[in-house]
Amino acid sequence: MALKITPIQKNAHTVSFTLSGQLDSETTPTLDQQIQKALLDGADIIILDMAALKMITSAGVGVVMKTRTSLAKRGGDLMMLNMLPQIAKVFEIVRLLPTLTVFESTQEMDNYLIKIQQRIQEDGSFDSGQ
């Protein structure tokens, strides 16, 4: 099964990637290339929408962690949403889920982002703690 990647430029600093299919050793390089391009273009927030991601292997987990590390170095954030149970289980097994920003839905993520933006407008602080 292939991986379909649909990138959406949300704003100058945010890119969302909708993933459909499998994220494995054959498909990971394509996602990594698209993410690296987004980072070079100035993205500070990368969103991975996993609603249609059916399977992930260690190569997929590796690109997620590489992305998270790259973003953390520049003060950015990686967000994942709509994770199917089998995908969440993989991250749980490798003990990464508690350290990642994961949302149940787009609405939950949007509410979180709105709160951050309001906080920045009110007092200039950025606290990514949920």
pTM score over 0.85: no
In a domain, 84, yes or no: yes
Task: Name 55's bridge partners.
Answer: 22
In a domain, 59, yes or no: yes
pLDDT tens-digit readout, 92-115: 777 765 666 777 776 776 677 567
**Average pLDDT, stretch 73-93?**
88
Q: Quote the number of domains for the chain.
A: 1
Query: Over the chain, what is the mean pLDDT?
Result: 84
Range of the domain at 37: 3-105
In a domain, 114, yes or no: no
- Quote the pLDDT of residue 29: 96
Which residues lie closer than 8 Å to 112 by C-beta, 6 or more apart? 103, 130
Query: What b-and-e string marks burial along 57-73, b requiring 16 or more CB atoms within 10 Å of the CB?
Result: eebbbebbbebbebbee
- Quote the pLDDT of residue 129: 47
Q: Are 50 and 83 in contact (CB under 8 A)?
A: yes
**CA separation for the pair 80, 105 (Å, rounded):** 9
In a domain, 90, yes or no: yes
- Quote the pLDDT of residue 36: 97
- Quote the pLDDT of residue 78: 95
- Quote the pLDDT of residue 99: 65
In a domain, 115, yes or no: no
In a domain, 21, yes or no: yes
